[in-house]
Structure 1
Amino acid sequence: MITVKEKINELGIEIPEAPKPGAVYVPAKRVGNLIYTSGQDCRIDGKLLYEGKLGSDLTVAQGYEAARQTMINCLAVIQAEIGDLSKVKQVVKLLAFVNSAPGFVQQPYVINGASELLEEIFGEKGQHARSAIASNELPFNTPVEIEMIVEVES
């Protein structure tokens, strides 16, 4: 049986240090066996992978990549909280916001970048409930912001 760490390595992904909060909040909050993350964006080494609105500045494919990187950052926050991603019992829910130009209605396809990554890494345990919501603006002009809820081993 392949471990979560082996799967992440196989996919060529490096989980970075958890991003530092940009304001007054904590990156994650544990309540019992649930971990709630604060919203994350698509930064790599402190710089946004992309900036702007889907449907005017960015394509769905670029948004998909941004969502994938955002999920890597969410996983970094969870790893910092629990030490080892193999302790994730299941991904419960994603709440995703897409910085959308007027008339852009393909938010679900953008956020598939995050959802598909979770299923690649965790298999069935990565399947989750999800909301993909349009936003007219997001902090720092990030194209995507995602928060998540995971159940972990006690």
Structure 2
Amino acid sequence: MSGKIEQRLAELGIELPEATRAVGNYVPTLITGNYLYLSGQITILNGELKYIGRLGENLSVEDGMAAARLCGLNMIAQVKAALDGDLDRVKQVIKLGGFVNGTPEFTDQPKVLNGASDLMVEVFGDAGKHTRSAVGVASLPLGISVEVDGIFEIA
């Protein structure tokens, strides 16, 4: 499908990755009523893990922002798959929840999560403005640096 959001992605030069499958007893997305819930998306691209490590140790804030953006791209890919390719059905990005693997001294989780937040506004415009949590954690699965989940309102 080629709608308004697809055109926007093309204008931005953004190519979405393939939506990954669940690797456990859960689903990547779940639609209930007019809401689409997304399981946590990680820093994987074409089957390869990216941005392995901890913020404040071997990764910079800029690395973390790029990692969060990749999580955001994976989120949009999951949304597209869940909506049978029609991203124009997104009415509003409601909430993003971000988890940042960092040292105990690392306190720039909000800056890191801007990588995903900025992407949502770039792609969806005002409908991309959302509420958010940015949480620091001692570790994440597979040693990744960032994981992001979300809730979207859909038509």
In structure 2, the residue matched to 1:120 is 122
Q: Does 1:139 align with 2:147?
A: no
Partner residue of 1:107? 109
- Structure 2: stretches of 5+ with no match in the other structure: none
Q: Show the counterpart of 1:80.
A: 81
Task: Specify the alignment match of 2:18 in structure 1.
Answer: 17
Report the CA distance between 1:15 and its aligned residue.
1.4
Structure 2 residue 60 is matched with structure 1 residue 59: yes
- Once residues 22 and 12 of structure 1 are traced to their aligned partners in structure 2, the CA distance between those partners, rounded to angstroms, is 30
1:17–1:80 Cα contact (<8 Å) kept: no
The answer to whether the 8 A contact 2:18-2:46 is kept is no
Give the Å deviation of 1:25: 0.8
Q: % of aligned pairs identical?
A: 44
- Stretches of 4+ aligned residues off by more than 4 angstroms: none
How large is the Cα RMSD of the aligned pairs? 1.0
Q: Distance in 1 between matches of 2:48 and 2:79?
A: 20
Q: Per-residue deviation at 1:86?
A: 1.0
- 1:38 correspondence with 2:39: yes
Structure 2: distance between partners of 1:100 and 1:23: 25
Amino acid across the alignment from 1:136: A
Whole-angstrom distance in 1 between the partners of 2:102 and 2:14: 27
TM-score normalised by the chain length of structure 1: 0.96
CA distance in 2, matches of 1:69, 1:23: 21
Q: Give distance in 2, aligned partners of 1:144 and 1:12.
A: 23
CA distance in 1, matches of 2:11, 2:64: 23
2:131 pairs, out of 129, 134, 141, with 129
Unaligned runs of 5+ in 1: none
State the alpha-carbon separation in 2 of the partners of residues 104 and 28 from structure 1: 31
Give 1:113 deviation, angstroms: 0.3
Aligned length: 152
Pick the aligned partner of 1:151 from 146, 150, 153: 153
What is the TM-score normalised by the length of structure 2? 0.95
